[in-house]
Homo-oligomer: A and B are copies of this chain.
């Protein structure tokens, strides 16, 4: 059994990680840390875990994280980079669900995240954990940067087109919509039900932190800078991301066949039949990404629809998938969840 620690278990990615790990057949949960809630039973804070998780939160000091095989950081940005060095030196493998190790260019990271990076040398060795792209490097990773939620949905949607060199890289558009859980379990006014329900808005049009992450991924894929307009929106619902992607075709191809072929062996990417419109609820609570590719009226614009559950494939589920790869387990272990619909 893999000994697992979770740092920061009181947010949505944390509790979702616990939901998945609680049923994972190859894992023994050792400790879940929380500075503010040490001493509280996890199941008292999250009654949905009653009968599944019987640990209490402990302080980071009281958790013997160095004795774990892997530690997940389900923390705000800027935490993992301060604690990873010591754990890595102790032979613990790290999966960071926050952004500390996602951007290779440390100066760029510092600009978008507004703080100095505490462990640039770990950025250099960190592996970006998008299994559909980096499965081999993930196997050996000591520090794994789990991708952001929007970047997962957007990159999986553009990937086959860019690999095949089929689209104008100067003019990509990603119009993305996320459920409110993506904003985290923080006491803030703008995500109150009375503010965010029965309404819809864009945000961060001037620049969102996931923009450089997506741009980096697409540029690495294409070998050249890409021009991307990324507009996130807040959906009046709990879970789910829907990315609507627009690109101009520069070559001819059977797009449906291209996507199906690219993802044929991927356990967690489902290319829908031609003409389909994937709904976010069809992946609710599961690690699946469903994608449909369209070419409206046979023109030269390709429209890709890509949906994930932001807390699963966009966070905790992908983290478990990465752990499975890192430790040589069945990639599906603990992720055999039928989406909950309706």
Residues of A bordering B, CB below 8 Å: 12, 15, 19, 22-23, 46-52, 171, 173, 175, 177, 179-181, 183, 185-189, 191-203, 205-207, 227, 229-231, 233, 235-240, 242, 244, 246, 248, 270, 272, 275-286, 288, 290, 294, 296-297, 299, 301, 303, 305, 307, 311, 336, 338-342
Contacts and interface: CB of A to CB of B under 8 A. Distances in A.
Nearest to A285: B340
A279 B48 CA distance: 9
Given A192-B193, A227-B299, A342 B242 contact: no
Contact of A194 (B12, B205, B229, B231): B12
6 contacts: A51-B270, A183-B194, A199-B279, A201-B280, A202-B244, A227-B299
B200 A181 contact: no
A144 to B, nearest CB: 24
A175 B171 CA distance: 15
B278 A198 contact: no
Given A49-B338, A229-B303, 18 more contacts: A12-B342, A47-B290, A50-B282, A181-B342, A193-B193, A193-B236, A193-B238, A194-B342, A197-B198, A197-B237, A198-B198, A198-B284, A201-B278, A202-B244, A205-B294, A206-B297, A238-B342, A284-B340
A195 B296 CA distance: 26
Contacts of A181: 194, 342
